[in-house]
Amino acid sequence: MKFNKIVEKLKESNILKFNQEINQIPDIIKLTIGEPDFNTPDHIKKAAKQAIDNNFTHYTVSNGILELREETANYYNEKFGFNYTKDQVIVTVGATEAMNATFQAILNPEDVVIIPTPTFPLYMPEIMMSYGNFELIDTSKNGFIFTADMLEKIIKNNPHMKYKAVVLVYPNNPTGVTYTKEQLEDLAKVIKKYDIYVICDEIYAELVYDKTHYSIANIIPENTILITGLSKSHAMTGWRIGFVLSSNEIIQQISKTHQFNVTNATSISQYAALAAMKYGKQDPELMKCEYKKRRDFLVEELTKLDFEVASPDGAFYIFAKIPQDRNQNSQEFASEIAYNAKVGTIPGSYFGPGGEGFLRISYATSIENLKIAIENLRKYLK
């Protein structure tokens, strides 16, 4: 039997594979999960139940029910100062489908997407399945920030390459780093100069701790494709609701790929999302307060254990540099502490160039679990 050659080249997710492996370890404290440990707020669940009772269980308009698109535009406009309208919103099956539909809409076979790393390893296979190409750029020596100078140098030094877009993920998974307004303004000048797209994965935008989230969509909306959703902000990972926000011209094209891929997002989930948008503006704030306490605890305690740790700006991960006296790569060290200290983390090498020598540690778990994990590490490492 013959299969699609691109699909045959795809490899199973290292993160999922490692996570499944350590699942078998008795009493392990898993700091591997990239989803909130909170339950979906009750008012959102109630709205979903009402949707079922009201028989809102049929197909919807492909781009999403009108009221949800209106509320989505209003919600993000109010939170982040955008000027989107209902016609510039697509409701997708999670941010993953939003990203996939975007790549399918904009990429031709010779096009190249620039991806700063370390980053979540989702974008590369999606680009491959869209018949595009990608170039990974290590940002580890620059504080995990992709700068305008880096972008200018890449494009200028490779005039034969058909650069189509750059992917910006902020706050970043796995590093927790985000961008300042000034950094984004500098990047915007280069993006505008070369007339490329910037695809912004801002799924963690509402989980920024000590700074104010600022989006490049405020600077160059005509070049920006904004990807977001409710999975992280409202603890709705299983509901599979994401959004694409962009210009009318871009939305018109992404609508096609979205329509032929999935028809529409689940109707019940859309009504749940509508409740989140209308009545759940403070839900992310309540969760963020807890995440911040956990972040501060982990940063302090990991530093005591000789990990090199920079306090993350957002999301719910710490990208900790392995202690210098451990002569191991990240895969070896993560396996060792999983089996011997009963603490599960994700090897940094799984996140691309610049990730080796680090561990991604999720604090989307209870403070009690974090305390046990730290004590286990202390006993084993000391």
* pLDDT of residue 337 exceeding 90: yes
The residues that bridge with 90 in the sheet, in sequence order, are 244
For the chain, percent of residues with pLDDT exceeding 70: 100
pLDDT in tens, 285-331: 999 999 999 999 999 999 999 999 999 999 999 999 999 899 899 99
What pLDDT is attached to residue 327? 83
Under CATH, to which class is 42-280 assigned?
Answer: alpha beta
Q: By the 8 A CB rule, do 106 and 164 touch?
A: yes
CATH fold for domain 7-40+283-381: Aspartate Aminotransferase, domain 1 (3.90.1150)
What pLDDT is attached to residue 221? 98
Beta-carbon contacts of 220 under 8 Å, excluding residues fewer than 6 positions away, are: 188, 191, 192, 198
Report the distance separating Cα 359 and Cα 28, nearest Å.
16
Q: By the 8 A CB rule, do 310 and 300 touch?
A: no
* pLDDT of residue 31 exceeding 90: yes
CB atoms within 10 A of CB 178: 28
Count Cβ atoms within 10 A of the Cβ of residue 286 and give its class: 0-12 exposed, 13-18 middle, 19 or more buried.
exposed
What pLDDT is attached to residue 382? 82
* Residue 302 token pair: 């990991």
Count Cβ atoms within 10 A of the Cβ of residue 92 and give its class: 0-12 exposed, 13-18 middle, 19 or more buried.
buried
* Residue 116 token pair: 């700063």
- Its pTM stands at 0.96
Q: By the 8 A CB rule, do 359 and 331 touch?
A: no
Backbone angles phi, psi at 250, to 5 degrees: -70, -45
Average pLDDT of the segment spanning 322-343: 96
Closest CA to 13 of 346, 361, 258, 355: 346
Q: Where are the domains of the chain?
A: 7-40+283-381, 42-280
Q: By the 8 A CB rule, do 240 and 93 touch?
A: yes
pLDDT in tens, 220-271: 999 999 999 999 999 999 999 999 999 999 999 999 999 999 999 999 999 9
β strands within the chain, DSSP E: 29-30, 89-92, 111-117, 133-138, 162-169, 197-201, 224-229, 242-245, 317-321, 343-344, 346-347, 358-362
CB atoms within 10 A of CB 8: 8
Length of the chain: 382
* Residue 77 token pair: 């406009």
pLDDT in tens, 111-148: 999 999 999 999 999 999 999 999 999 999 999 999 99
pLDDT in tens, 148-181: 999 999 999 999 999 999 999 999 999 999 999 9
